[in-house]
Structure 1
Amino acid sequence: MSCQTVTVPANSEVTDDQTIMNDTIQGEGTIVWNAFEGGFFGIQANNGEKYYPLGSLDEEFQVAGLAVKFVLRPERDVATIVMWGTPASVVSIAKLEE
């Protein structure tokens, strides 16, 4: 395992395994399946925060329990019928190596 130094810009904040930069959040978490409201996949960050991806996740990420690294853009002025987590656009998402 390698180690790297990261410089966090002044306009960002680091909170419980997540970095908030400008209008995006990056972190690690798990894909979860929620069976209510017709069923949908969400992202639960390692710090417990829940994110509802707007639009559907690519098929390769529609796996409950999958560990992922993500960059999301929270959409604060959006209402959804699921009422679960913060609605967010997926900027990037990748599977974490096991």
Structure 2
Amino acid sequence: MNRLLCLFSIVFFAGCSGTDTTDANSPAEREAQSNIELKKTNTSKTSQEEPEMLTITGTIVYKGMEGGFFGLDANDGKKYMPRGMNKEMLKNGMIVQVKGYILTDVLTFQQYGQVLKVVEATEIGRSEIGQEDFK
């Protein structure tokens, strides 16, 4: 009787542990899995896109409000707050060509324009608006 009970228990537990009988490698399942992986890849790329590099020509201007700051008035009429620019280039009236990208996650007290992370700056000349240096 004990052997019969033991045999019944083994068969019962083996039957309960069962495995999935569907083919895990069926073409439909493989396609569904690849679509899920593709969606994951596409969403991760959009969050890590490189910022657009801009080339801007304009004039450095000193503004005495909010404690004083330097801005960049672009030739197309837009205004920028240059960040990371060489201090030697920050002179009121200096005409520059700047390469950089917009920082979208930075706020400033001045709110003069978009914050521009300067990668490279070249002096082009001086304008007539003022030659004084405000450091």
User: TM (normalized to structure 1)?
Assistant: 0.69
* 2-structure distance, mates of 1:49, 1:27: 10
* 1-structure distance, mates of 2:69, 2:89: 12
Judging by fraction of residues, say which structure has more strand.
Answer: 1
Aligned AA (2:82): P
User: TM (normalized to structure 2)?
Assistant: 0.52
**Number of the residue aligned with 2:75:** 46
Aligned AA (1:44): D
Q: Say which of 61, 66, 72 aligns to 1:37.
A: 66
* 2-structure distance, mates of 1:47, 1:68: 13
What is the number of residues matched between the two proteins? Answer: 76
* 1-structure distance, mates of 2:79, 2:62: 12
Root-mean-square deviation (Å): 1.6
Higher relative contact order (CA 8 A, sep 6+): 1
* 2-structure distance, mates of 1:35, 1:61: 18
Structure 1: stretches of 5+ with no match in the other structure: 1-21
Q: Quick check: 1:26 aligned with 2:55?
A: yes
1:97 shift after superposition: 4.9
1:27 shift after superposition: 2.1
Structure 2: stretches of 5+ with no match in the other structure: 1-50, 127-135
Superimposed CA distance per residue, residues 14-49 of structure 1 (whole angstroms, 9 cap, x where no aligned partner): xxxxxxxx6121021000001111001111110111
Judging by fraction of residues, say which structure has more helix.
Answer: 2
Q: Percent identity?
A: 34
Following superposition, which runs of at least 4 residues in structure 1 exceed 2 angstroms of deviation? Answer: none
Q: Quick check: 1:79 aligned with 2:107?
A: yes
